[in-house]
Amino acid sequence: MSSHRVIVVGASGYSGGVLARLLASHPHLRLHAATSDARAGKNVGRELGFSSDVVFVPNAEAERAAASCDVAFLATPAEVSAELGPKLAEGGRTVVDLSGAFRLATGDDVRAHYKFLHPHASRLGVTHYGLPELFGAPSRGTLVSNPGCYPTPTLLGLGPLVRAGLVSPKGIVVDAKSGTTGAGRQSKEEHSFAEVAENLRAYKVLSHQHEPEIAQKLAAFSGKAVEGLVFTPHLLPVRRGLLSTCYARPLTSAPAKDLEACLRDTYAGSPFVEIVSPEEVTLASVVGTNMCRLGVAARGDVVVVVGAIDNLVKGAAGQALQNVNLALGFDEGCGLSGLHRSAA
């Protein structure tokens, strides 16, 4: 089987770098081009730690470099992806955007949460949302919006339970914590070692862009009106890993084992979702893999759903590769199933 030529736009960031490394061992995809302003002219493999003859080109050359590729990954800021994604998708190229440019429903949502005027607002609400376990495989030759890192375990945990009428879509509270790589490769004081080490803090309280993404996609999957959802993210003093704890109200008197059965039935054929006890949902069990671990517990008038992923793999690069595998008709685990836990 011939290889598909791939470009990674923004390959020197955390997510883009993980993607490039995953492509190095993929049996059907070949890294053909990579862009980075900071590393332009340098060998990709030498910079990222694998064998490659590809040289970084500036981001401004992305369209030219993509002309000879049939798959594109955009590990770029949302305002860049919003402009570039539809252009690269022209002519039947499969494009996966790792930013939030196409996740929300309207241009007003984007303006409120990402602070820019969307140049292709007509694509909002109709671009395929790439959470394959819930929304299915994307089509070949289309633009795919890769989910945010926080929404991924949150939606995987809550989606089936809300859809089945086991928990209420109203008043859900999501308390989530992520490692520092979730903020991207940037030089901000609050992400420095001195500020993060031996510390824990909330950020973007009641203003994080993943809150409307969670609410909108939970409603889209469940068919239920999601009201009053509150999401609070926290920064952990670790590099990688994300844990989401969700609190919801039960709609039935079903015991925890029935809630767990709902999750097991939903993900019976999903290689990257594992149902365990809530106490077994840990960062160490998922970091370095494309797995999402989920656990659920119930008592009286509360249901607790816990989920964990590697924010750079299932929360970004791994899920993007999973989407391309499905779009091109490969096994969804191609290039992903050999990853090892705690390989941070």
| CA dist., res. 35 & res. 32, Å (int) | 11
**Banded model confidence at residue 112, pLDDT cuts 50, 70, 90:** very high
Classify domain 151-309 by CATH architecture. 2-Layer Sandwich (3.30)
First to last CA, the chain: 32
Measure the CA–CA gap between 248 and 175, rounded to whole angstroms. 12
Q: What is the mean pLDDT of residues 202-208?
A: 97
Give mean pLDDT, residues 120-146.
98
In the chain, the largest separation of any two C-alpha atoms, in whole Å, equals 62
Average pLDDT over residues 77-83: 98
% of residues, the chain, pLDDT over 70: 96
Using the predicted structure, report yes or no on whether residue 340 has a pLDDT greater than 90. no
pLDDT band for position 187 (50/70/90)? low
Residue with tokens 């539809």: 86
292 is catalytic: no
Residues 160, 246: Cα–Cα separation, whole Å: 13
DSSP code of residue 313: I
Q: What is the distance of C-alpha 30 from the center of its chain? A: 22
Cβ neighbours for 217, distance < 8 A, ≥ 6 positions apart: 103, 129, 131, 147, 151, 155
pLDDT at 344: 36
Confidence of residue 55 (pLDDT cuts 50, 70, 90): very high
Q: Where are the domains of the chain?
A: 4-147+313-327, 151-309
Catalytic residue (one of 69, 149, 246, 262): 149
Average pLDDT, the chain: 95
Residue entry with tokens 């836990």: 341
Strands 71-74 and 4-9: parallel
DSSP state letters, 313-331: IIIIIHHHHHHHHHHTTS-
Task: Select from 83, 324, 37, 32 the least CA-distant residue to 185.
Answer: 37
Q: Average pLDDT of 34-55?
A: 96
Residue pair 19/43 in contact by the 8 Å Cβ criterion: no
284: confidence class by pLDDT, cuts 50, 70, 90? very high
Q: How far apart are CA 16 and CA 9, in angstroms?
A: 7
pLDDT at position 115 over 60: yes
In this predicted structure, what is the pLDDT of residue 186?
66
Predicted pLDDT of residue 342: 47
User: Across residues 98-116, what is the average pLDDT?
Assistant: 98
Percentage of the chain with pLDDT > 90?
92
Please tell me the predicted confidence (pLDDT) of residue 193: 77
Question: 167-181, 182-196, 204-218, 274-288 — which is least confidently predicted?
Answer: 182-196
Could you give the strand order of the β-sheet that contains 128-129, starting from the edge strand earlier in sequence?
29-35, 4-9, 71-74, 94-97, 143-145, 128-129
d(CA 106, CA 263): 31
Give the residue from 73, 75, 25 showing the smallest Cα distance to 334.
25
CATH class of 4-147+313-327: alpha beta
Across the range 97-112, mean pLDDT stands at 98
pLDDT given at position 1: 54
| Tokens linked to 226 | 């999601």
Q: Is the pLDDT of residue 169 over 60?
A: yes
